[in-house]
Every structure is written in C-alpha cells, then in structure tokens.
Amino acid sequence: MAKTTGAQLRAFFADPAAWPGEPGESYYDDSVFIVNGEEVDEDFNPETVALDAIVSFDGMFCTLDGSGDKPLETHFRQWLKKQNTVYILVKCDKSKEAMVRSAIKDAGGVVAD
C-alpha cells in the first residue's frame, strides 16, 4: 500500500513525465483512495486533495502511453525515486510562523499559502 501526502500525490498526477503520451493514453483505473482514513468515492479527483491530507491507495493499475498495465503503487514509487524534491508538513507556534516561513524560503524552499 502506498501512503503519501496530498501535496505529493497532487505533484505526481500533475507531472507530465509521470503520464506520458497524448491525453488519454496514460491513465489509472480501479481507483480506491483512502484520504485521512476515509475511503472516497469513485468521483474523487486526486488533483484537488488537500495538501496536508494523508492519502493511501493499493490495488490499482495504470496504463502508461498505451504500454500495458502496471500497479499504480509501483509507478508512484518509481516516480518518487526520480524526484529531487520533498514535501514537508510543518507545524509551529503561531508567533513563529513568519520566521519559519522566512527560514524555509531562505533555504530555497517553497511555502504553499
């Protein structure tokens, strides 16, 4: 079972390198996602999941550029290995928020609003 954050899942689905070919040639099916412990229905759009959500999925498959099926979990893990970025959920005291945001930006990070 793959487990990730909403931010990382959104990046995966938005990455054209993860979904090659013409629109519709690469896709996933038999989708069952669990978001924050709750199974979501088949109309779930992973591209709009909350950035801080905890998402898991298992047993799905994807077809990439018409080249046959492979488990979505395998495809996701292979994509993860190729990434040179990481998504971090940060918790801090409200009084330190500006300082933490600034430190992240100073270190070359990007802070989502």
Tokens of 100: 């933490």
Angle at 80 between CA 44 and CA 97, to 5 degrees: 75
Q: What is the pLDDT of residues 26-66, one digit of tens each?
A: 888 877 899 999 999 878 888 899 999 999 998 788 888 77
Domain boundaries, the chain: 2-84
Q: What is the pLDDT of residues 68-112, one digit of tens each?
A: 788 999 999 999 999 999 888 899 999 999 999 999 999 999 987
pTM across the whole model: 0.83
Specify whether the CB–CB gap between 33 and 46 falls below 8 A: yes
10 Å Cβ neighbour count for 64? 17
Task: Tell me which residue of 14, 18, 80 sits closest to 49, measured CA to CA.
Answer: 14
